[in-house]
Homo-oligomer: A and B are copies of this chain.
Amino acid sequence: MTRPLRLSEQSLRTTDSPITELIYTAMRDRSLISLAAGLVDEETLPTAAVAQAVAAVLADPSLGRAALQYGTTAGLGSLRLALAQRLAGDFTQQPTAAAPLADALAARCIITSGSQQLLYLVSEALIDPGDIVITESPSYFVYHGVIESFGARVLGVPMDHEGMSTTALAELLAELERAGQLHRVKLIYTVDYFQNPTGLSLSASRRVELLRLAQQYSRDGRILILEDAAYRDLRYDGSDLPSILSLPGGEEYVVYAGTFSKPCSPGLKTGYGFLPADLHEPILHLKGNHDFGSSNLSQYIVAHLLQSGAFDQHLEHLRTTYRRKRDAMLEALTETFADCPAVQWNQPAGGLYVWLEFTDGTRTGPDSPLFRAARQAGVLVVPGEFCHVTTDQDRPRHQLRLSFGVADPPRLREGVRRLGQAYAQVTKQLQTV
C-alpha cells in the first residue's frame, strides 16, 4: 500500500509554467515553427569563444584549480567587480568617480544560477503568505508563478508605450492604502528594458516616477523595486537608458537583476544581482542554504569572456543577428496582415518579443480556434492571457506573444505566414457563421 506523500504548503502552491507544454511540443515536432519559446538563437551560441576562455582558465594551473574548487557563496570577486564596473557607467561618466563606486557596488553583488535564481531568492527573502507583489500587466509570467508559490498575490498595472503606467500604479497604491493593505506590498517588479512579453521599455521619466512612488508609499516598511534587466544588452535601436538603481536614492530601493543567459549563453547559467546593502546578507544566507554558490567554472568562464573583450564582441554579433531577425518578423507581419487593420503590433527596439493584438477581439487562448488553427498550420505562439495576472478574470484574451529568438529569418517569415493563414481561416469561419 502506498502511503500518501505530504507536500508542504509551498509545494502545493507551486505549479508548472504554462508554456512548458508548448516548449516540449516544439521539441518533439521539428516541423513546427516555434514563435513561442523565449530561447536564444542556436547559431549565435559562442562555442568558439567559450572554448577559448575555458582552455585559458584551465591551462593556468592555479586558475584552473580555483575554477574547479568551491567558490564563495557571493560569487567570484573578479566577476562581481567587472559587472560593477560596467554598471558604474549608469551612475557617472567620470573614471575617477567610477572606481570607488564600482568597489561599493561589487560588495553588494551576488552571482546566481541565472537571474531566475536571483528573482527566487529575493522573493524568498521578502514574501510571506498574504503579501502583495505589483507587476506590469502583461509581465514575465514565470515569475508570477514564483510569487504565487510563496503565497503572495500578484497585482497587475497596465502599460502603454512608455512601459508601466505610473499613474495607474499610484492609483493602485493609494487604493491599497485605503484598504489597509499597504503593509502587504513588498515588491514592485518591472522588466524595464525590452520587456518580456511586450518588448516595451520603461521611459526615463517613468523610472523617476516609479522610484518616487516606491519611496512615498514605503510608510509601513520599504517597498522594493525588482528591476529585471535581463534583455538590456539586446538593444538594436536607440540609446541605453540608465537603470532605476542608478537614480538618486535607488540603491536603497532597487534590486537590479542581470543575466548572461540572453546576451551570451543560457548553458553557463550565470546571472547576478545588485542588492540594497541591508538585503545582501539575508540573501547570502539563503543562497548558502540553496547551494553555497553557483557553478564556479561558469563564473571563471564569464569573467574571462568579459576581460578578454570576447563578450562585447559577441554582443555586437548578437545585436546584428537579432536586429535582422526582428526586422524579418516585422516585415513578415506587415506583409501578412496588410489588409487586416484589426491586427496590430509594436516595433520593439530590443529584446526577443513582438506583442500582437487583435483589436477585433479574436480570442488567442490555448483552446481558442485561432490558437488551434495556428498549431494546425504548424506554428506555435504564446497566448497573451498567459502573460497577464491569471487570477484576474477580466484579463485581455486577444493578444499574442511572438518570439523571434529561436527561428532563423526564413522560418520566422514562414511562421508569421502560417499565423496569417490561421487568422484568415478563423475570421472567415466567423464571417460564414
Which A residues are closer than 8 A to B by beta carbons?
2-11, 14-17, 20, 39-40, 42-43, 45-48, 50-51, 54-55, 58-59, 61, 64-71, 113-114, 116-117, 120, 124-128, 142, 145-146, 149-150, 186, 218, 221-222, 252, 261, 265-270, 276, 278-279, 282, 284-286, 288-298, 300-301
Check if A120 sits within 8 Å of B291, measured CB to CB. yes
Given known contacts A11-B126, A126-B8, A252-B2, A45 and B70 CB-to-CB distance under 8 angstroms: no
A6–B221 alpha-carbon span in the complex (Å) = 6
Given the complex, which residues of B lie within 8 Å of A120, measured CB to CB?
A: 289-291
A142–B291 alpha-carbon span in the complex (Å) = 11
Tell which of B270, B285, B298 touches A14, judged by Cβ atoms closer than 8 Å: B285
A292–B10 alpha-carbon span in the complex (Å) = 17
A409–B369 alpha-carbon span in the complex (Å) = 72
Tell which of B54, B127, B270, B278 touches A5, judged by Cβ atoms closer than 8 Å: B278
Check if B8 sits within 8 Å of A124, measured CB to CB. yes
Given known contacts A58-B51, A113-B291, A296 and B266 CB-to-CB distance under 8 angstroms: yes
Tell which of B7, B51, B300 touches A282, judged by Cβ atoms closer than 8 Å: B7
Given the complex, which residues of B lie within 8 Å of A146, measured CB to CB?
A: 289
Tell which of B17, B125, B218, B269 touches A7, judged by Cβ atoms closer than 8 Å: B125
Given the complex, which residues of B lie within 8 Å of A221, measured CB to CB?
A: 3-6
In the assembled complex, the CB of A84 is this many whole angstroms from the nearest CB of chain B, namely 21
Check if A116 sits within 8 Å of B8, measured CB to CB. no
List 9 other contacts, CB 8 Å, given A47-B58, A114-B291, A117-B291: A5-B278, A7-B125, A10-B124, A14-B289, A17-B288, A54-B55, A68-B267, A116-B291, A269-B291
Given known contacts A4-B222, A9-B128, A128-B8, A269 and B286 CB-to-CB distance under 8 angstroms: no
A40's closest neighbor in chain B, by CB? Answer: B69
Tell which of B3, B42, B149, B285 touches A289, judged by Cβ atoms closer than 8 Å: B149
Given known contacts A61-B47, A64-B47, A221-B5, A269 and B295 CB-to-CB distance under 8 angstroms: yes
6 A-B pairs in the complex with CB atoms less than 8 angstroms apart: A14-B286, A47-B68, A51-B55, A114-B292, A116-B292, A142-B292
Given the complex, which residues of B lie within 8 Å of A268, measured CB to CB?
A: 68, 295-297
Given the complex, which residues of B lie within 8 Å of A10, measured CB to CB?
A: 124, 286
Given known contacts A51-B54, A145-B289, A265 and B6 CB-to-CB distance under 8 angstroms: no
Check if A113 sits within 8 Å of B294, measured CB to CB. yes
A16–B74 alpha-carbon span in the complex (Å) = 13
Given known contacts A126-B7, A222-B3, A267-B68, A50 and B58 CB-to-CB distance under 8 angstroms: yes
Check if A69 sits within 8 Å of B51, measured CB to CB. no
A39–B59 alpha-carbon span in the complex (Å) = 22
Check if A285 sits within 8 Å of B7, measured CB to CB. no
Check if B278 sits within 8 Å of A69, measured CB to CB. no
Check if A50 sits within 8 Å of B68, measured CB to CB. yes
In the assembled complex, the CB of A4 is this many whole angstroms from the nearest CB of chain B, namely 5
Check if A265 sits within 8 Å of B68, measured CB to CB. yes
A47's closest neighbor in chain B, by CB? Answer: B64
